[in-house]
Amino acid sequence: MKDAHTKKPRSKAAAAQMRSEYDFSAGVRGKYANQYRRGTNVVLLEPDVAKAFPDSKSVNDALRSLLTVAVRAAARRTRL
């Protein structure tokens, strides 16, 4: 029967060292911080719906149109 022991965990010092192939000297701190704060919405479309909309612009245009109709309908209901 084989030995049931797993590999020895690396020491904390070895894990904390940065490898030489990683060079972050040209990195910019907080480059995407504002974008992250604003948030991002990811929506998954069903395949049949995705076929009708080739890109995000077409989806947004359709939703804006629908929103306009919904707002008008709500305004009519409140006037009655």
Domain borders along the chain are 47-80
pLDDT at 53: 93
Q: Which residue has the tokens 């992250």?
A: 36
Return the percentage of the chain with pLDDT > 70, whole number.
85
Mean pLDDT across 21-30: 88
Residue pair 18/10 in contact by the 8 Å Cβ criterion: no
In this predicted structure, the answer to whether residue 11 has a pLDDT above a threshold of 90 is: no
pLDDT at 1: 53
Model's pTM, two decimal places?
Answer: 0.49
CA distance 65 to 59: 10
> What region, left, alpha or beta, does residue 77 occupy, with left being phi > 0 and alpha being psi -120 to 50 degrees?
alpha
Mean pLDDT across 21-50: 87
In this predicted structure, the answer to whether residue 66 has a pLDDT above a threshold of 90 is: yes
pLDDT at 52: 95
State how far Cα 21 lies from the chain centre.
28
